[in-house]
Amino acid sequence: MRRLVSLALLLACLVVPLGAYVRLSDAGLGCPDWPLCYGNVSPHHASEAIAAAEASRPEGPVSQAKAWKEMIHRYAASTLGVLILGVAVLAWRRRRQRVSASLLLGLVVLQGLLGMWTVTLLLKPAIVTAHLIGGMLTVTALAAMTFVTRSPVVVGAGVWWTTRLLPVAVLGQVMLGGWVSTNYAALACNGFPLCSGGVPDMHWGQAFHVWRELGQTPEGALLPFSALMSIHWAHRLGAVLVTALAVSVLWLSRKTPGTGAYRLLLAVTVVLQLGLGVANVVLQLPLPVAVAHNAGAMLLLVVSTVFSLGIRRAVPAGSRTERSASWQS
């Protein structure tokens, strides 16, 4: 079971950046039906239908290359689903980690539905963002099953609280990043650290209205550029919050034995993410950097979650709270 979980984790770490690559290269509608491609198992078998669609709209979302990108992602995601189904079956047969495996299987089923709705609802931002979050949570759950031990490091209350809060903040920042990407707002602000030379006026209602079509307001009008700037700026503010919280974790845990590996990984991933985020703005969103930024977000969520699950709060000896914490660990 451990080998199967590790294999699923490795594949999931490829599927999530691959999904980002499909989205960022505008290949999300390369095959406009689901789960097949124009009713066929591969773009090769659907070549005539793809050629006709491309001829009618040369600048449209369909081409042979885009169809292959989309279908390769579907093949990889389907394989991951089969592996996780195998993990769930083994968990129930061996009576180990049944709850974790069942929740993970439920998450993957939801991911499949979100993948279908991403295509059938024509890249609606709320669905695409939810699909991204589902992929991140899948990787994080597999990493927790793989790396979290039964002997957590005992830490003080300050370290415990800030470390518990960090993955929540990172997940919120990932959601903001997904909202930036799915609304095509990554280039709405030029320059760094300011947004086109200043701080934009925030239009929260238009920028963060959840259920609407891509590029439109809820009323069907074109989404104003000021809303895109607001989305982008909110993501930058979120980065400041996450960085401050991560620095707090690193500072508070600097003298805590047993946290050295956690702190090193956290410091490296935070610096990496900040650098990739700035590079996206300064270099005008090159595709490799944008995909790497997505992968870095996944890694930061995994590291912060495993760190938080790998510790427990120190309590007075012999207290009821200590016995409860020991039982839960």
Q: Which residues are the active-site residues? A: 70
Number of Cβ within a 10 Å radius of residue 41:
12
**Contact assessment for residue 137 and residue 237, using Cβ atoms and an 8 Å cutoff:** no
| Distance between CA atoms of residues 263 and 307, nearest Å | 8
Phi-psi region of 153 (alpha: psi -120 to 50; beta: other; left: phi over 0): beta
Tokens encoding 72: 């390769």
β-bridge partners, 244: none
Match 């999904």 to its residue by tokens: 19
Q: How far is CA 97 from the centre of its chain?
A: 24
Tokens encoding 118: 């991403």
Number of Cβ within a 10 Å radius of residue 210:
11
Burial 55-75 (b: 16+ CB within 10 A, else e): eeeeeebbbeebbbbbbbbbe
| Distance between CA atoms of residues 110 and 76, nearest Å | 16
Give the three-state DSSP class for 127: helix
| Distance between CA atoms of residues 285 and 279, nearest Å | 8
E strands in 76-180: 153-155
Phi-psi region of 285 (alpha: psi -120 to 50; beta: other; left: phi over 0): left
Give the three-state DSSP class for 12: helix
Q: How close are the terminal C-alpha atoms of the chain, in Å?
A: 21
**Contact assessment for residue 295 and residue 16, using Cβ atoms and an 8 Å cutoff:** yes
